[in-house]
Amino acid sequence: MVQQTQLMELATEGAEPVQTYARNVLLANNRISYQEPVNLPDETKSAPAGKDPKPAKSLAQGVLKLFPNPAQQYVIVEYNFTKELSTSENIFLTISSVTGSIIERRTIVKHQDQLLIDCRQLHSGSYICKMSCGKKTLGLGKFIIAK
């Protein structure tokens, strides 16, 4: 009992890596329950705060990139259509299955940006990302969800 109390103190107040080791010993002996924290990306920020040591790469005109591919929880859509469109034209982003059923449709105002697409509700398989303005297709890409 004294050892368990000492392990509990180390697991809550100890320094790393002792804290982790103590928690793992308690978990292995079913003395505590532990839920690993899940850190999701912050969708309210488009870039980390602070100075960037390298200058940001500018995406070439008329480009659509999808990454990571294959994806599990999210896909980042990076695009630049500044030369193809006037400033007043809106872009439509459409995510559809390979069978053609539309999963999501968004109106985009910025002509160059990155978007985070939440894929946690999508099933494993292939999907198509299309960016268009009116009847004109600006970019088309395929991504895979692998869960």
Q: b or e along 87-112 (b: 16 or more beta carbons within 10 Å of the residue's beta carbon)? A: eeeebebbbeeeeeeeeeeeebeebe
User: pTM to 2 decimals?
Assistant: 0.59
Higher-confidence residue of 143 and 38: namely 143
Question: Shortest CA distance to 78 belongs to which of 121, 141, 132, 144?
Answer: 141
Domains of the chain: 1-35 (no CATH), 63-145 (2.60.40.1930)
Q: What is the reported pLDDT for 101?
A: 95
| Average pLDDT over every residue of 110-128 | 92
